[in-house]
Amino acid sequence: MTLKMTPNKDSSNTLQYLISLLDQGQMRSNPPTYSNDIFKAGQATLKLPHSTVRTMNPPSLSDWLKIRNEMKPVVIKNLISDWPALQKWDLNYFWTVMAQRTVPIEIGKRYTDADWGQKLLRFEDFLSKLYKGDKTKEKVYLAQHPLLEQIPQLENDIIVPDYCYIGNNGDDAELNAWIGPEGTISSLHTDNKYNLFAQIKGRKLFKLIDPEYSSKFEVIDEVMFNSSRLDIENNDVIASLNSDDVIIENVILEEGDVLFIPKLYWHYVRSLTASISLSMWFE
């Protein structure tokens, strides 16, 4: 069908407006309304051994340097209380700012499994699969994605802590989003940067192992030497590690918490609810 329009100032403005709406994807069907209950439900009864990981309020910069150099994980409360993201970020907000954008999504239980893969999806399709959770066959995960580079307006919703800039050349922290349903798993692995991991919505279980125990378990191969297939939620595996004197530290990261993960510290992560997090890697 051809649309005939008389070219006058008003109609050309209207056309521009319609094009900009189409560009933003706002002319499509009505926005969905996703309930935030998905960030609350799930695993309330999970029993874990008492956590040996220290919890603290934000330290002074000089105390922070000492903490960082101790190379032990710590949970920092109230570090991101002033981030607008804590209030704003949910599936409805993401739909409004990026429904039509394309993002790489991990499909499968965990990246160390043979049937794991990646797909490009429109963000709105990803959100709908995430929301359906277990009712969809595919376990979707937007993992380690530089979303704030792709959608710069999201940068206004966070404030990178000064801790990321101390003791390096002032290089910017590397920011990655992790957005997924309940039950996403990141296999046991290490990264070669410090990490301040901010939990924005939902809860995540972390299992952490000091690199001093690296020789006590198998890595995947010489190329993926920073990852292991070890299922450290399995009781037999835990018993075998314990008999080798390996200490596993457990942390449940709650909304608004930040976990400091030292460089090369082993970490395994499972989301206990749907979850939105942002990792800040720095030297």
Ligand X SMILES: O=C(O)CCC(=O)C(=O)O
Half-sphere exposure of 139 (CA within 13 A, CB side): 17
**Residue 98 interacts with ligand X (CB under 6 A): yes or no:** no
Q: How far apart are CA 148 and CA 233, in angstroms?
A: 32
- Cβ closest to ligand X, residue 237 vs residue 264: 264
Site for ligand X in 188-217 (CB under 6 A): 191, 195, 197, 204
**Smallest distance, Å, CB 217 to ligand X?**
17
**Smallest distance, Å, CB 62 to ligand X?**
26
**Residue 267 interacts with ligand X (CB under 6 A): yes or no:** yes
Q: How far apart are CA 190 and CA 110, in angstroms?
A: 15
Number of amino acids touching ligand X (CB under 6 A):
11
**Residue 255 interacts with ligand X (CB under 6 A): yes or no:** no
Q: Name the strands in the sheet holding 266-271, side by side, starting at the edge strand that comes first in the sequence.
A: 185-189, 266-271, 204-209, 249-253
Site for ligand X in 149-178 (CB under 6 A): 178
In the three-class reduction of DSSP (H, G, I as helix; E, B as strand; rest coil), residue 96 is classed as helix
Q: Which of 269, 272, 274, 276 binds ligand X (CB under 6 A)?
A: 269
- 8 Å CB contact between 281 and 160: no
Q: Which of 181, 241, 277, 282 binds ligand X (CB under 6 A)?
A: 277
Tell me which amino acid residue 236 is.
D
The number of helix segments (H) and strand segments (E) in the chain equals: 7, 13
Q: Which of 112, 186, 187, 228 binds ligand X (CB under 6 A)?
A: 186
- Cβ closest to ligand X, residue 182 vs residue 191: 191
